[in-house]
Amino acid sequence: MAAKTWFITGTSKGFGREWAIAALERGDRVAATARNTDTLKDLVEQYGDAILPIELDVNDRAADFAAVQQAHETFGSLDIVINNAGYGQFGMIEELSEEDARAQIETNVFGALWVTQAALPFMRAQGSGHILQVSSIGGISAFPNVGAYHASKWALEGFSQALAQEVEDFGIHVTLIEPGGFSTDWSGPSAKKSTDIAAYDPIRDKATKLRSARQATPGDPSATRSALLKVVDAEKPPLRVFFGEAPLEIATKDYESRLASWREWQPVAVEAHGG
């Protein structure tokens, strides 16, 4: 298999770093972005010119375009783009400040949008490519205390599903990766938290317990390496794919509930249509 060129955001830790290693280990080339590229020094020492570290804040649209351009100029192609940079904002809806909400959307939605836009001209020109958006089970289901995060991932899901239909005829694939709970620091140092309103403390405690129950056995991030390679190497990759054991059960319950409610209220829907 010919070496491929990857562009991955958020490679300093977590999934981004694991997937950069997966690509490098099999002889591919990786443009790896991070806010602090010092975190990539060990990979540069090990893999040399096969990795191109790029300091990048995905919120900066001009910098996103420049980074993608640099990757293409360095490696001569752009085969796989993974929008992995993002974080979780914890806080009840009433607790979110304007800064909390805007920052969450800026990074998780607009950051991915700008990188996607930057990559598409190169992929269209070569008639191939694969864009992978790191969503979440939280991109199709929702739980208390992370409403802003859900809003960002549902937005990512929406524009990516539209994108998949727009670029299919150019030979470009789009995949939404929807992980469940993994042993990363997503809910730790990487997360941001809104200022608590005391009235929500009992609900917050309940939400924390339910979240722990859903993630009783967190997944191993390193195990996602082989799973990811199966997705990017597939002749017909999926639009959506779960990573982890729990998401399918969560999604099944959620969608069965939605369908039941829609069917129950279908007479009202028909009434609303008018004669």
Mean pLDDT (the chain) is 96
Alpha-carbon 143 to chain mean position: 18
Residue indicated by tokens 């443009």: 31
Question: Residue 253 catalytic?
Answer: no
Q: Is the pLDDT of residue 216 over 80?
A: no
Q: Is the pLDDT of residue 214 over 90?
A: no
Question: Residue 200 catalytic?
Answer: no
State the catalytic residue, choosing from 12, 47, 87, 135. 135
What is the Cα Rg of the chain in Å?
20
Which tens digit of pLDDT belongs to each residue from 1-52?
Answer: 789 999 999 999 999 999 999 999 999 999 999 999 999 999 999 999 999 9
- CA separation for the pair 179, 162 (Å, rounded): 21
Tally Cβ neighbours within 10 Å of residue 91.
24
State the catalytic residue, choosing from 149, 152, 160, 194. 149
Which tens digit of pLDDT belongs to each residue from 64-112?
Answer: 999 999 999 999 999 999 999 999 999 999 999 999 999 999 999 999 9
Q: Is the pLDDT of residue 170 over 70?
A: yes
- CA separation for the pair 159, 179 (Å, rounded): 18
CA–CA distance from 148 to each of 4, 137, 152, 171 (Å)? 35, 14, 6, 33
- CA separation for the pair 157, 139 (Å, rounded): 6
Mean pLDDT, to the nearest integer, of 149-171? 98
The per-residue DSSP string of 228-272 comes to: HHHHHH-SS--SEEEESSSHHHHHHHHHHHHHHHHHHTHHHHHHH
- CA separation for the pair 140, 138 (Å, rounded): 5
Nearest to 3 by CA among 228, 221, 232: 232
Residue 1 is predicted with a pLDDT of 72
State the catalytic residue, choosing from 136, 153, 160, 194. 153
Question: Residue 153 catalytic?
Answer: yes
185 near 150, Cβ under 8 Å? no
Residue 187 is predicted with a pLDDT of 66
